[in-house]
Amino acid sequence: MSWVTVPAEPWLSPAIEIRASDIAGRGLFAREPVAVGVRVARFGGRLVDDAELRALFASSSTYIDTISIDRDLNLVLPGRSDNGYGNHSCDPNLWWEPGLWLTARRRIAVDEEVTVDYGTITDDPDFSMPCSCGSHLCRGTVTGRDWAVPALQRRYGHHWIPGLLKKRRDVVPALRILEMTASDREGFAALVNDIHRAFGFSFDPDLDADLADPAAFYQHVWVLKDGDEVVGSAALTPPRERVMTLKRMYLHPSYRGQGWGRRLLATAIRAATAASCRAIRLDTSERQSAARRLYEAAGFELERVSNGTRYYVKHL
């Protein structure tokens, strides 16, 4: 065990506090906004092998917090540390970084509960827990075999505890861009709402009426699907004076940086070209710098800026 170094005590950011949770019992909540990538917690404690861990479980009448570090190597947190109050979500806002750090996977708002996917923590084949996280990605049950699920491997990339990172299988991406069907509507709406919350936008029944009946608003809607999950989208309005408008161009944070945004955008451009359109227009918030870079790299030109919104056009 000498090659593994962990701190003796866990650390929790002062921006986080314990409160009653709607997920389960008590949980950890943000007292202030947390930006993407910021360190929120670090796990620490005592390293034990499997035999000693089994002995601890057998002899203890109190709850023991533990995570798998490697084969026959486990970290036991001291007592009931504050870090141990972190609840599970199938779409967590925290994930693992080297050194047993938990960092913000996306922007975390004030009063938002901070969560981690328990499937990234354990490979215990006997572990099984009913899930009530409420996420549209909820698996219903969390198990010690979730680390082997291809969709989760793709979603979390290298963001696993050390032992599970070693065990991950290389998988060939099986994501698909498809025209949306009626069965995708709920997943499409959930994706849009999740992205809006991540950027601090509130639901507007007038602006978001398209979520209930996309076919009434768009000529095309595409979804990026990982299995049955909708993890990306793009839509084109019917042409007016041979110009289409790109809407609902979204990608779940776990799937960014892999080229899927470019593929969704290219799909929309091909469709507009096939419809003999002369241009595509779109708008995006000034806060969405990654989206702006994507559009500009694809040949979209800035037309104007108004009230924090950038308006682009691409001539076909």
pLDDT at 18: 95
Please state, in angstroms and as integers, the Cα–Cα distance from residue 109 to each residue in 96, 182, 286, following that order: 19, 32, 19
- Verdict on whether the full-model pTM lies above 0.95: no
Q: Which domains does the chain have, with CATH numbers?
A: 11-167 (2.170.270.10), 176-315 (3.40.630.30)
Q: Among positive and negative, which fits the CA dihedral 125, 146, 88, 184?
A: negative
CA distance linking residue 48 with residue 223, whole number of Å: 46
Mean pLDDT in the chain? 88
CA distance linking residue 210 with residue 277, whole number of Å: 23
Kindly indicate the confidence band of residue 290, based on its pLDDT and cuts at 50, 70 and 90: confident
**Tens digit of each residue's pLDDT (9 = 90 or more) over 149-198:** 878 887 888 888 877 877 765 444 568 899 999 999 999 998 888 888 77
Longest CA pairwise span in the chain (Å): 76
Compute the average pLDDT of residues 266-288: 95
pLDDT at 173: 52
Q: Over 90: is that where the pLDDT of 81 sits? A: no
**Tens digit of each residue's pLDDT (9 = 90 or more) over 3-15:** 457 888 889 999 9
pLDDT at 174: 67
Q: Over 80: is that where the pLDDT of 303 sits? A: yes
pLDDT at 152: 86
Q: Over 90: is that where the pLDDT of 66 sits? A: no
- Residue with token string 């991406």: 173
Kindly indicate the confidence band of residue 284, based on its pLDDT and cuts at 50, 70 and 90: very high
Element (H, E) at 296: helix 289-297
What are the phi and psi torsion angles at 198 (to 5°)? -60, -30
